[in-house]
Amino acid sequence: MTENLKPKTSNIRKVALLWPQRLRVMLELFTVIFIVSALIIIIRYDLVAKQSQSLRNFMVQHIGTYGFTLDDVYISGHNRTLASDINQALQLKRGDNFFEISPALIKHRLENLPWVRDVTVKRSFLPNILQIHIKEKEVLALWQLNGRLYPLDYDGYVIEAEYRPAESVLLVIGQEAPEHLNELLTMIKNIDETYLQRLKAANYISQRRWNLIFDNLDNGVTVKLPEDNTVAALTKLINLDKKTSILKRKLTIIDLRLDGKMVIKMRKSRGK
């Protein structure tokens, strides 16, 4: 019975030969499992990005000690925007780390100021100067609503700032006049400059058409334009005025709403 329990020499040799192979397979398996697990952890917790960001922050914070600090800020293009408002938006001072200054953030902050339309920000090194060019909004018209006047830019948007016109500015009236300002500009863009100067106000009527007031807001001539074919109607009137000076006559209304017809209303004489 004891002889049957003795291990055979051939089996021992086989196991001895197979063990290194099994060990290699196990090591390879554990290596694959480790790599896959590490990748899962890195992807899940974004460790590479965090380490890269930490290294970048470290470099940016310490590079300022080697001469890369803000020396000066040059600003151009601003006329209506106050310097105090610009400084408050910039939140910069000499000696700030030049690499921690974000041109995109500066652009965003300045473009939130009411008069600023567009901003260009450039950095130049040694000396470390920030160059800022501001393009301001231009007032195209004044919008009259509920007894108040609001400046409008070329896109028809209200400029949320105080404005005192230094010269004559077109007055637009009506609840939805700003939304249809481009429509008005398209309509009058081809008329002579002399008539543009004489145009004092445009009233958007019933959310569908325009009345134009020439020469004087109080006692000028009101031209009632049709809903459709407005350019043709206005061009016809101007051509007639060049021949007859009808806009300078004692009229209060010229009604062009009827196709092919012109209805006029004379100004009442004093004492009658």
Q: 68: pLDDT confidence band, cut at 50, 70 and 90?
A: confident
CA distance 59 to 161: 42
Q: Mean of the pLDDT values across residues 30-58? A: 57
pLDDT digits (tens, 9 = 90+) for 165-216: 877 889 999 988 999 998 898 888 888 888 888 999 999 998 889 999 999 8
Q: What are phi and psi of 56, to 5 degrees?
A: -65, -45
Give CA–CA dist 47/39, Å, rounded.
Answer: 10
The amino acid present at 44, given as its one-letter code, is R
**pLDDT tier at 268, thresholds 50, 70, 90:** confident
pLDDT at 272: 47
Q: What pLDDT does 15 receive?
A: 41
Query: Hey, is 196 helix, strand or coil?
Result: helix
- How would residue 40 be classed by pLDDT, with cut points 50, 70 and 90? low
Q: What is the mean pLDDT of the chain?
A: 80
Looking at the chain, which runs of residues are DSSP E strands?
A: 72-76, 116-124, 129-136, 141-145, 148-152, 170-173, 199-205, 209-214, 221-224, 251-255, 263-266
**Of 229 and 14, which is predicted with more confidence?**
229
* Confidence class for position 29, pLDDT limits 50, 70, 90: low
* Rounded Cα–Cα distance for residues 22 and 160 (Å): 79
Contacts of 76 (CB under 8 A, 6+ apart): 131, 132, 133, 134
Bridge-based pairing state of the strands 209-214 and 221-224:
antiparallel
Q: In angstroms, rounded to a whole number, what is the distance separating the alpha carbons of residues 23 and 233? A: 96
**Strands of the 72-76 sheet, one edge to the other:** 72-76, 129-136, 116-124
User: What pLDDT score was predicted for residue 269?
Assistant: 62
Question: What's the pLDDT score for residue 9?
Answer: 47
- Confidence band for 108, pLDDT divided at 50, 70 and 90: very high
- Look at residue 4 in the predicted model and tell me its pLDDT: 46
- How far, in Å, CA of 173 to CA of 252, rounded? 18
More confident residue, 129 or 49: 129
**C-alpha span between 142 and 134 (Å, rounded):** 23
**Model pLDDT, residue 26:** 59
